[in-house]
Every structure is written in C-alpha cells, then in structure tokens.
Structure 1
Amino acid sequence: MNRAASQGPGRRGELALLAKAGFQELSRAREELHELSEQLSETSEASLRDGLSLAADPDQALSLLLRLSATGEAALDDLDSFAWQRLCKLVGASPALGEFLTRHPDLIPKLTGRDGRLPSSDEARIEMLAAVTSGSETLAGEEGWNALRVKYRELLAGIALYDLTFDGTHPEIPDARSVLEAVAAALSSIADGALEAALAVARATLEVGGSTPPIDRERIDDVRFTIIAMGKCGAEELNVVSDVDVMFIAEGDERIATLLARETMRAIQDPAHELPLWQVDPNLRPEGRHGSLVRSLSSMLNYYERWAKTWEFQALIKARAAAGDLDLGNEFVDAVQPLVWASSNREDFVGSVQRMRERVTEHIDRVELDLQIKLGPGGLRDIEFSVQLLQLVHGQRDERLQLRGTLPALRALVEDGYVARADGERLSEHYQTLRVLEHRLQLKDLRRTALMPGDGDALRVLARASGLASTGGELQTLWDRTRREVRSLHLKIFYAPLLSAVAALPDEDFVLGSDEAKARLASIGFGDPNGAMRHLAALTGGSTRRARILRNLTPVLLQWLGEGTDPDYGLLSFRKVSEANQESSWYLKLLRDGAMAAERLTSILSNSRFAADLLESFPEGVAWLERDDQLVPPTADALLAEMRSLVSRRTTLKSAAERLRRVHRREILRLAMGRVVGVIDDEQVSSGLDSAHTALLDALLKSIRANSEAEIGEPAPAIALIGMGRFGGGELGFASDIDLVAVSREQLASGGSVSRAVKIITELRNLVEDPRFPVDLDFDLRPEGKSGPIVRSLESYRAYYERWSVTWEAQALLRARHVAGDIKLGSKFMSMADPIRYPETFTDEQLREVRRIKARVEAERLPHGADPKMHLKLGPGGISDVEWLVQLIQLKHGARHPELRTVSTLGALDAAVGLELLSSDDAACLRDAWEYASSVRSAMRLWSGRASDTLPRNWRDLLGIAGVLGTSRERTSEIVEQWFGLSRRARIVFEREFFGYTDEERFL
C-alpha cells in the first residue's frame, strides 16, 4: 500500500477520526499509529486506521501489531488492504491469537490470504497428522506436542477469521449466528484431528520411551484403541475453547492402552514450549474419575446394560467415534444407542433429569448467576436440557429425533410437532446468540469462560466482536431479553407434564392397525379396538404437521383415555372436538404444551358424556383447561351484564335467543368441566347454575317484551319470574328441574293483557329450548298446577292463596324467590308470600296434613318397581325427607324466628341448630345425606348425560359416578354402602322429628 501524498488532518481532526474508528485511548493511539506507519513505510496511517476500525478492540490490536512490527519481521510489510483488515479483525477479537502470531509471524501471510474456507473433517485430520510427521517418522514427546499445538492454533485462527467475516456490518453480510453450526463443526473437526495427531505422537513416544521404558511397535500396534468424543465435541458443536469430553476404549494389552490414553492427553494439555490447547476430560467414563481410564468394549457394554445411571444415558446421546480405531468406536456407539433411547422407560426418568438440571443451577456462585451464559437460568444448558429431554422421551418411538446436535435435534422436534414452530425458532435463534457470545468471550484470551462481562468497556468490546449489537448497552439489552425468553421457554417445555406421561408409557411399538395395537387398546380399557382404530386413522392420517402432532400425542392420550370410565366414547368425542378445532392454531399447541390441558380433556371426554356432548357444540371451550381460573364461573352480575348487552345488539328476537342460548350453554359447559376435573365443588356448581339460568331468563324475557312492544306499539305487560323448588333455593345440581311461577302486574289483568302475558311466557318457553342442550321450564308448582293459568296477576295470586291454597302450596312458597323480570313486581310477590309461608299460627290440623301428604308422596310417587332404599330423592333418608323436615320447622317457627326465613335448605338447617330446634348431631346427619344425594345425582347426570334419582347397582354406572366424583374406582361398592349408612341415619332423625316416632314405634 502506498503512503498517501496529501497531508493528514489536524490533531483535533485526527482524534475525532480515531474515536470514530473505535479507539478509546486517543492520544496514545495517535502516537502508536504514527509509529506503526513509520515502521511500515509503504502504508499510510489512514489505511492502518481503516483496518483497525474493524477490530473489536482497536487499542489492543494496535499495541499488538506495533509489537509484532518492532520484532523486525517482514510479515506485515507485504500485506495488501484485504489481508491487513483480516489481520486487524483477528488480533482485535483475539489478543491470544495475536500473541501466538508474534511467536509464529511466518503464518501471517498464509492466514490472512486464505480464501475463507473451513476445513473439512478429513482435511483437518490430514493436516494435523502431517504436522507431527517428519519424513516417514512421527514426532515423539514435546517435539510432537509443540508441532501439534502450532498446527492446531493455525487452523483455529483460520476458523476464527472465517467466523469474524460474518459481522453483520452490511445488509448483504449476515451475522455470525448464520454460520454457527458450520464453525462449531469445523472446531470439532480440528479437535478430532488434534486427538488423532496426539494419539500418533503417543504411539511414537511409547516406542522411543521416556517416562516409561520403550515398547515394541508391534505390541503397540496390536492394541485396538479408539477415542469416543462426548459432549459438544461428540455432537460436532464444539466451542472455541472447551474441555473435550472423551472415553477411551481398547482391545488388547490393557497396560499399553492406558499408557496410550495418558500420553494422548499429555500431548494436548501438559505444559510445553507451546501452550496447552484444552483439557481432555475423561470423567464421563463409567464410574467417573474412580473408574478405569480405559475399558474394553465388552466391559463398557456390560456397565451400561447393568449399572449406568440416567444422566449417563443422556450424555451418550452425543457419543461419537472421533479418533483412533473408528470401526471399534462405531461398534460401541451402535451398541449403546438402543440403551440410550430406552432409558426414558426408567422409573421417574423425567423427574431425575429435571432435578439434575436444578442441581447444576444450585451449584453456581450467586455472584455469577446472572452472568452465566452456559449454566445459569436462561442459558445454554436450559436449551440443551430441554432438547435432550424431549429427544429421550420421544426418541424411542421416533428415530428422526436420534440426533447428536442441539440445533438439528431442535429442528427435528419442530418438524415432527413436538415443539411449537414459533417456540422452536425462538430457541434456535437464542441458542445461536448465546453460542456466538460464548465463542467471542473464549476467543479473546483462548480461555474457557462463559461469563458475560460486568463492566461497560468489556461489553463494548464484546458487542463489536460479536456483531450482534452496536454498543455495550444494546448488547446488555439483547442478553437480558434472550435470557428471559430462554428461561420462559425452558420452563414451558422442560416441565410439561406430558413428558412424564409419555416417558411412563409401555415401551412396545404402537403400529396403527396391528394386532399388537388392538391388543394394547383392549388392555387399557377400550371395548371396541376396531372402532378406536378407525378414529385414530382419521385423526392421524396424512403427512400434515397436524397429523404428525396428533401421532406424537396419541400414545399418551390413549393411555389417559383408558383411565376414564368410557374410553371408546372419549376417543369418539376427542375426534369430534379435534375436527371442530382443526382450523384453530392454538388447539394442538395447547394439548402438546399446556400444563395440564391434554390430561384434563381426556378425563372429561371419557368420564362425562354430558360435558363431552356440550363440548362438541362449543369446542373452543378446550382452551379453558389450561388455567383453573378459566373453569371458575363468572359472577352473576358479570354474566347478566353480558347477556343484556347481547340482547341490546341483536336485531331480531330469534338471533338474540340463539346467542343467549349459546352463552348459557357455554357456562353450563364451564361448570361441568370444572366439576369433572375438580376445580370447583358442588356449592360453586349451584351458584354457577343459578347465575346462568337467571341471566338467561332475565335477558330473554327482556328481549321478548321489547319485541312485543315493537310489534303492537304499546308497553308489554310487566312480568316477574319466581323461582321455586331447588331453583328458588339456589341449590341446583346438574339433574335439577327449573321450577317457576310467572306473575304480571295487577293493573294489566284485563283479558288482552293476560293474553299478551301468556304469549310472552309461551314464547319464553319456546325460545329457551336449546336443540343442543335441553332446558325445560316447569310451571307445575303454580296454583292449581297444570290446570291453572300459566300467568296470573299479583292480585289473582293473593286472592287464590287467601281463599283456596292448601298447606302444601304454602310449603312450596318456602323456596320462592324472585329470579328474573320486573324487580318491583317480584318484591311485591315475595311480600305477599311471606304471611302465607311463615304463618303466625300453625295448627295441629296443618301438621297432620303435612305429614299425610308426605306419607302419600312416599307411597304414590316412587317409581313402580323402584327399590326405595336406592332412591336418592324419595327414598328413606333421601333429599325429600331432609327438605320436608326443614320446611316443617320453617312453617312452625318461621313467623317468630327471622333466622328461618331463608329459601336455602342448608341455611334453614343451620338456623334450626342455632335456635336449638334441632341438635347439631341430627343436623349433621341430615346435611350429610342431603349433600351426598345431591352430589351423586349431579354425578349421574354428568356421567351418563341423563337425569336420574335412583342410585344404580350397575358396576359400570357406579364406576362412572366414581370417575366424576374423583373417588377410588377400585371400590365402587362403597358408593352404595356410604349412601345406605347416610340415609339410614338421616331417616332415623326424620322419623323422630317429622312424624314424632319414638325408637320403639319405629320398629313396630
């Protein structure tokens, strides 16, 4: 390069140019640059500065090059601008390689003039062996060591120069992440070459003798000796500087084999004139540092078959024959691979891997925890452990996952659907980012390190070296974001319950359509294996990503379905739900990655026909299964506001009704799912059902009235709906009726108004009917029952109750509550009802009537042929006994004791105890029987989809009830036995307190 003829800029301008080039010590840099320019007489300061501006640390690079030039070597004189820039990049990013070049300046022209190729594995091996060969002889001892290390560092410098070319400084030049895999593979290749050359030197050293007497060459050659690379070297993803994990296997003289291993290690890591390369670490061998350094092939295989721990199989994922007798090495690798991929069948396999990762983090110095690129939370180990755990869990059944490298394995996991595409892409990018940072940190001093710098100047240099950020601050932001996202993805993948479930599956292959698969389906509970096969074929057929994901999920989903009461119906429902959600991108991701969604879904589908049928009509409800709070019903006010808002936005009555029914069905489904998976209890179910029903009735009634007013052009009659029975009491279960009476305003009781009111209620009954979910409004508790008008005015109700009502109708009003429609009208109705249901006097005649009616109910209303003891509602000690006794207490004492004026059976029962009208022990007996009967009735509806008041004796139905209630399936008879015990005790209390029987009278 010719010196520029023009005068340079002034001092201030010179310093500005130096600052722009990245120098920090400007005055010193100005002096050293001038001195270097003087020594390189053919090169201008501007050209030197331009080259140094490409260095990560221009100040240090300038000092190194000045030192190199001062030695009098001519290595820098003939460099053109391209070579000069490459040299500046190299020594600016790696002062340690700069020091190496000061010892070997003759390598500079060769390195800086290279074409930027990476050495292949064969090329690296050939060059390394050639370096330790003189003529036909292999160099021995330190002479061989030094020659090996010089050649290795020459090749390392070439790889570093190639890597540094990708600095992202121009749009057409990608950053170093794009070549990470190629660079890591090249680093592994030269490590293989170094091991091969070290082994050659070891043989020559043993032959000539040194620390041991000379050994005949034939005896040495008779030993078959191989080096197995493990860890990053085995995976061909080695760092710039890293321990190289190895195992030594040999056949032949054990003593010579051990000496070969020791000399091989010494050639690379013992002190000599040329500095050591890296540590050769053989501690991943069987029994670690306490085990034999070298083992025979049979000894190795025997150990792994009988004694190896889980972590040792994880380490073997990356095992590769790297040097020496490659045939022997490959024989070992091929033999242990089946053991590696079967290791996930071990008990608590997933848990042991998870705990091992946690122990790694626990042993990090707290000062370094947030700086650790490799071991800390959000570091490389999080990604590597996540990938390896997924490989080991699924790799036994999917050979495409049996890969050594982290990035290839991650791509395979994404391609086959085990990891979401977006998650996989982010992990890959973050892995490459962290590795590039790690490489640049190690390249600087050729020292094994994975700690992010803590000071701003070091961050600035690392940012310039990596090309991933312009400033230290930008790099810190990148590091924080990367670490945070890696940790989040690691926790999501590494601790997914699906992993443990898959790992616990039997290890036989599941080939769709095979006899073995049918037998497997039958063994886990499927009654129709052929039908199950048809559903599976429909779900998993084809080569789409969706089909691949479902194929991956199928074994564990079948296992979970098999744990339910009706696996066949569960699989059919799963197919329907999956087909309904096939356009929803979140669905399969949720099943695969959700914390518990897949297991919950299979439990619901195989244990509850009621919930399964509803889910088919609202398949997006699967999304609730990931979070408990999504399975908890909304508040009554929130649901009512939602439904009223829907009514206000709908233009037609029909469309409003359809939307309201859908929201109502949605909430019933939420309650059913929440109950089956155990997130909510029966009390929350009652509250949720009450909210859903009242919101539906109120919003639908409002919509019907608005439509009536629009059609006729005058105000519609005000109507209030009064809940009765369990609906009025707010104690609904899934098997409960919706009992109502309807009341209109008294001033609208003309013929036309009554006709319009009847029409509104009739419309309400029609529109509330859901083709997908039956909703039946029962108005039979109105005055005169089915024979009476369906709607009455408030005055008509008042007149009826004052003149004609009988005791049972007053009793029915005990559970009356305004639930929907006109609030003032409902309040007036309740005020009218209070004197009737809480009479000032309750005569003996009225008492006898209540008892007579109860006896008639027991005699006449029990279904023909039913076993009274099995009837949860009307049988002895059943729901009816408890409610009639509580209502009798309310009729007798409610006028004097406001505490008893509640529509709740259990609330009134508690009040009776407080007033000492019942003992606490008697109340407990009644409560236990009532709650158990109510819970079992709901469970029967959830299990079969049908309402029933009779406790089944059928084993399968009892199993279904147990599945919903979450009780042991192995002791289903206890459901009946428990009911017999509870009902018997409740009946004793009932007969004594209701009929006044003494113990002697009960047995007459």
Structure 2
Amino acid sequence: RLREHLAGATTREEREQALNEFKDRELFLIDLDAIVHQGGDVRALAEPLTALAELVVNAAAELAQEELVRRHGRPRTVGGLEARFALFGLGKFGGAALGYASDIELLLVYSDNGVTDGPQPLDNGEYYGLLVREIARLIRAKREGIFHVDLRLRPYGHSGPWACSLESFCRYYGPGGPAHAVERLALVRLRAVGGDEDLGAQVERLRDEYVYRGRSINLAELRELRERQVAEKVKGGGYNAKFSPGALVDLEYDVQVLQVLHGHRDPRLRTPRIHEALAALSELGVLGAEESRQLVGAYVFFRRLVNSLRMLRGSAQDLFLPPLGSIEHAHLARRMGYERGDGLEPEQRLHLDFETQTAIVRAFIERHFGREALPGRPEGNVVDLLLSSAPPVELRDRVLRRIGFRDPVRALLNLQRLTGNGAWREVFLPLAVLACDTLRHMPDPDRALNNWERLAAELPDIEAHYRTLLSQPRRLAILMGICSDSQFLADTLIRHPEFWEWVTDPRNLCAPRRRAALRAELWEMGQAGGALAWLDTVRRFRHREMLRIGTRDLCLRVPLEEVTADLSDLAEAVLECVLERALAEPGAPWARAGRALCVLAMGKLGGAELN
C-alpha cells in the first residue's frame, strides 16, 4: 500500500509528504483498532506498529539514499568495491514491542571505510551519517516520542559519529571496549530491520559473541545507573510506570541480564523479544513456570499502563501515575479497561494491581540478584513482605507499622499463614493490599488479622473466600470490623465459619428481623431430632442471630434503638419456642400447666431494650 501511495508523488518533497501521510494514517488506524477491539492486548498493538515502523524506515532510507547518491555517488571501499550498510532497531523497536507513542531507536552500521565515487566525494562515515540523519528528518514526529527516530543509542552517544562503522562497532562493544553496561545490555534487543541482510546477520552474530560469551555485563555499573534513574526520574513520592523500583525498566533490565548470563547455554535466549526470552528461561529452568507466568503478566500490565498513560495525556514522557482518588486516576483505570464490579471501583482495581505487580517484580529481582540489586532505599508494600523469603527487618517494621500493627513480627506471621502455598496464593496477594488498607482504619489491626487467620484455617474453601473478599470490599470491611471490634463475635464466627456467608448476605444483614419471623424460622429448624438436637439448634440459632445483630451494630452503625429491639425480639422468640416445645413434651410434669402458664418479662427485656 505504501508504494501505491508514493506512486502519485513526482517530486522529492511530494514523496516525503506522501510517506508521512501514509505513516500518520496507518498509525491512527492501528491505534484506533487497539482502542476499540483489542482489549489491552499489547502484542496485538506492538506487531502492526513494529511492522509499520520497519516499512517507513526502509522507505525513508530509500528516499534519502536517492538524493545522496545523486550528489555524492555511492560509498566505496578502499579496494573500490561498493560498501554496504544495515539498519538495526534497538529498545522497543528492536524487541518488536512498540506501543502507543513509542520512539524508533535506530542504529546504522556500515561495512567499510573509504570514500564515495560521485561528483562531490565524501568520506563513507560522513556519507552514512548524513543518510541516517536524513532518515530521521524524513520521518516526522507529530509530538516528541510519537514515532520519533532516536539515534542516541549509537556508540559514544551524543559525542559519537551519527553512523557506526563495523570496525567501530567491534572496538566499542568487543572485549575491553568502552561501552557502558547499559549499552551492552541494549544489544540484547538489537535486531536487523533494513539495509544489507548479510551485513545485518553478521552484526547480530558479533553481538551474540560479545554479549553472550562470558560475563560481558558489569552489574555494578548497571545498578549505579538505576540508582541515578530513580533519583532523577522518581521524585516527590510519586509512582512512575517506567522507572519506579519494581516497574517496567527493572523488569526489562533484569530479564535481559538473565538472558546475558545464560545465553551461552541455549540460542533460544538470544532473542530481542521478551516473551520469547521468558518462555526460554522457564524451559531451561532459570525461572520457575509460575514465576515466568507472573512476569509475563507483570510485563503486560506495565505495557498496558504505559500505553494508557500516553493515550490519556498525549505525551510519551509523563509516565507518573495520577494521585489515587483523582479524576485523572479514574480516567486512567477506565482507559486500561478496568470496570466496576461488586463494590470495587476501577481505580481501586488499578491501585491493587500496581502494588501487586511492582512487588512481584521486586521479588523476582531479590530472588535472582539479591535485595541489594533493587534501586533506591528499601521500599515496598505488604506484597513485598509476602514474596520475600527473608524481608529486611527495617522494611517489615516500616510497612507494617505504617498500617497500624503494634506487633510487626506477629502480623507478618499471620499474613504469611494466610498467604500459604496453595492455588489461592495468587488471589491473596492483591487481597492483602486491600485488606491492609482496610485494617489501617480499624481500632485493633493486630487482633483483626489474628482472628482472620484463625477463621481462614476453619474454612473449607479458602480460595473462594479470598475471591469473594477481593471482589466485594464491603464484605471485607465487615469481616475486619468483626475481627477487630469484638472478640466475642470473632470467636462466634470462628466456631461457626458456616455463618459467614449467611451473616454478610444483605438480605439478612441490612434490615431488622422481627419476632414473628425469628420464631417461625427457629420452630421450623427444630422439628427434626430429639431434645438434645433441639437444644443444639437453639444454641446455634442464638449464636447466629447474636452475630448478625452485633455486626449490624458494629459495622453498619444502626441506631441503638434498633439494636436493643433486635436483641429483645430474639430473646422473646427463643423463649416462646423453648416454652412451646417444653409444654409439648409428653409426660413432662410442667405439661399439666397447659395454657394456665405465662411468662412475664421485667427489667430491660420487659422494656424491650436489651443490650
């Protein structure tokens, strides 16, 4: 389609205009399709964007080459042969992972030194430098970062030549060369995208030799760079989707480091594509299958977050999350596809996922490189504590005391037991963030957490319990209120875990139950079984109703008059049923009293104001 679009242009300026019109139209259609149809599938966006970038870069190279050859001729080697060049993608472009407003990181490598053979001869280095700069000029970016061609990843950066000779490439990245650790790491994503195919394949082979043979990456240099990035780009306590500890850069860098450390073992690790790398790391046993799956999920989350921030703001640079509770934060959550469900607002779901995914990445780094590899001062949340085999005491105390726990040692033990090692572990991690946010508003977080752990141990399906609480934060708040505010009610719930679903059902909790309804239910429940079974039914009924009334009092803050009326109705219903059952017992001495017997209430029951 591009060639058809360019066919009608006759002058160089018209072809340049046609190239950018095609690029802008295709960008719009790809982005629109991603917004309307793809539901956050980052690869479904990345693949057509990357293909478009390759097409446009090669078309720009062809257009730039025509003018340069006309004026300066073709570059020749010292021996008179035609020199060759190859174009390479780096970063997201090299990794076939372009997103909304991504730039195009490009490197040009040429084969030989020499001069051109035209009327205005140029040194080959100068010629190819003009070529790559003209490619960058021809591809117009409407805004900074949106398909902007970035040439900064060339050897020596801003101070180096625009184009890189093969000799310079070997000297810079080869053994003993001056390339910084992050520049060597960037070669993991180097991928030939245009120019001479043989030269492109040769450079990729050299890259493999320099990067994947031996310990080519100075990890100390890499960590120093991350410290500077965090200090410079993560300020004011905000969260940056790219540079905050545990965010996208940490995930990408450290997966690439694992590729470098183990790439000599298997060629499958020598890939610029992060999904392929994670799959290979798992297959080779470097990562566990579950760990690899979690990291894929984290990567997809951060890419969706970055894409959505750029769509929301129209800027490739501002990747700070809006403040929690702001209108912009709510817009961002909806842009990412979060929906309201069972009481959790979209922005709450985004917050829980961000806290969980950053903790997963930090745990991955700690597991493979040690906690000292994490940039910045020790930071984290409750998920960091749960994913770490031995969280630092300073971090444990800071995180848990900030929530309100008086005994961080006991609180962490409770949380670890709640987390467990079963299938429910993954469900509990975001729930832990939500629960701790709820607990910080409770009068006794320590008691609440301890009682919750005791209850969880009695439940038959802990995963279903966790899923219910995660999807229904109001139920979570009620449970934490019971466990924090009343040891009596908490003990009742722990002895009778089957009451949990019933007592938090809005049909049972949100309206008072009057004496007639209570009496009818208790009488029906007691029809089967003998005297002992009847007494057990009465006790269970009374405990359940006391739990319901206490929950309405402590968690719903119903008026005192309603609480005392509920308690009085319960007492009267129980007394009536017990008396009627006693009078109906054949042969009992009190049965002769028949209907001549009555019961008189006095005191608070007589006044229908039990407490």
TM-score (norm 2): 0.53
The C-alpha deviation readout for 1:209-258, integer Å capped at 9, x for no partner, is xxxxx344798995523221100100000121122212111235222211
Q: Which runs of 5+ in 1 are unaligned?
A: 1-126, 168-174, 209-213, 501-591, 597-622, 624-1004
Q: Does 1:483 align with 2:354?
A: yes
Q: How much has 1:182 moved relative to structure 2?
A: 2.9
- Residue 139 of structure 2 aligns to a residue in which SS? helix
- Residue 495 of structure 1 aligns to a residue in which SS? helix
Whole-Å separation in 2 of the counterparts to 1:426 and 1:497:
15
Whole-Å separation in 2 of the counterparts to 1:130 and 1:217:
27
Note the 1:967-982 alignment, pairs <5 A: none
2:297 counterpart (429, 435, 444): 429
Larger Rg: 1
Contact 2:254/2:365 (CA < 8 Å) preserved in 1? yes
Q: Does 1:409 align with 2:283?
A: no
Change (3 A) 1:325 1:474: farther
Query: What is aligned with 2:550?
Result: none
Contact 2:334/2:346 (CA < 8 Å) preserved in 1? no
Letter in 2 for 1:230: L
Query: What is aligned with 1:200?
Result: 62
Query: What is aligned with 1:140?
Result: 12
Whole-Å separation in 2 of the counterparts to 1:270 and 1:475:
33
Q: How much has 1:594 moved relative to structure 2?
A: 5.9
- Residue 370 of structure 1 aligns to a residue in which SS? coil
Letter in 2 for 1:288: G
Change (3 A) 1:330 1:594: farther
Change (3 A) 1:467 1:488: closer
2:5 counterpart (125, 131, 134): 131
The C-alpha deviation readout for 1:436-470, integer Å capped at 9, x for no partner, is 22223323565314233347333333333322334
Contact 1:145/1:267 (CA < 8 Å) preserved in 2? yes
Contact 1:316/1:340 (CA < 8 Å) preserved in 2? yes
Q: How much has 1:302 moved relative to structure 2?
A: 2.3
Whole-Å separation in 1 of the counterparts to 2:231 and 2:239:
14
Whole-Å separation in 1 of the counterparts to 2:295 and 2:145:
34
Q: Does 1:327 align with 2:165?
A: no
Contact 2:89/2:192 (CA < 8 Å) preserved in 1? yes
- Residue 259 of structure 1 aligns to a residue in which SS? helix
- Residue 215 of structure 2 aligns to a residue in which SS? helix
Contact 1:247/1:285 (CA < 8 Å) preserved in 2? yes
Q: How many residues align?
A: 359
Query: What is aligned with 2:88?
Result: 228
Whole-Å separation in 2 of the counterparts to 1:402 and 1:357:
23
- Residue 228 of structure 1 aligns to a residue in which SS? strand
Note the 1:564-579 alignment, pairs <5 A: none
Q: Which runs of 5+ in 2 are unaligned?
A: 115-123, 372-386, 392-420, 422-611
Note the 1:524-543 alignment, pairs <5 A: none
2:98 counterpart (232, 238, 249): 238
Note the 1:4-83 alignment, pairs <5 A: none
TM-score (norm 1): 0.33
- Residue 227 of structure 1 aligns to a residue in which SS? strand
Letter in 1 for 2:5: A
- Residue 108 of structure 2 aligns to a residue in which SS? strand
Q: Does 1:352 align with 2:204?
A: no
Letter in 2 for 1:458: E
Change (3 A) 1:232 1:345: closer
Q: How much has 1:362 moved relative to structure 2?
A: 1.7
Change (3 A) 1:415 1:476: farther
Note the 1:463-542 alignment, pairs <5 A: 463-470=333-340, 474-496=345-367
Whole-Å separation in 1 of the counterparts to 2:388 and 2:282:
12
Query: What is aligned with 2:43?
Result: 181
Query: What is aligned with 2:149?
Result: 280
Letter in 2 for 1:131: H
Change (3 A) 1:481 1:390: farther
Higher relative contact order (CA 8 A, sep 6+): 2
1:301 counterpart (170, 175, 190): 170
Whole-Å separation in 2 of the counterparts to 1:448 and 1:260:
26
Whole-Å separation in 1 of the counterparts to 2:145 and 2:241:
24
> Identical aligned pairs, as a percentage?
26
Whole-Å separation in 1 of the counterparts to 2:345 and 2:198:
49
Whole-Å separation in 2 of the counterparts to 1:133 and 1:595:
65
Whole-Å separation in 1 of the counterparts to 2:264 and 2:334:
44
Note the 1:720-869 alignment, pairs <5 A: none
Contact 1:464/1:470 (CA < 8 Å) preserved in 2? no
Whole-Å separation in 1 of the counterparts to 2:182 and 2:256:
11
Aligned alpha-carbon RMSD (Å): 3.5
1:459 counterpart (329, 338, 342): 329
- Residue 245 of structure 1 aligns to a residue in which SS? strand
- Residue 233 of structure 2 aligns to a residue in which SS? coil
Contact 2:101/2:145 (CA < 8 Å) preserved in 1? no
Whole-Å separation in 1 of the counterparts to 2:144 and 2:216:
46
Q: Does 1:395 align with 2:260?
A: no
1:382 counterpart (234, 246, 250): 250
Whole-Å separation in 2 of the counterparts to 1:299 and 1:480:
47
Q: How much has 1:276 moved relative to structure 2?
A: 9.1
Query: What is aligned with 1:913?
Result: none
Change (3 A) 1:270 1:432: closer
Whole-Å separation in 1 of the counterparts to 2:263 and 2:76:
42
Whole-Å separation in 1 of the counterparts to 2:363 and 2:197:
40
Query: What is aligned with 1:337?
Result: 208
Contact 1:310/1:343 (CA < 8 Å) preserved in 2? no
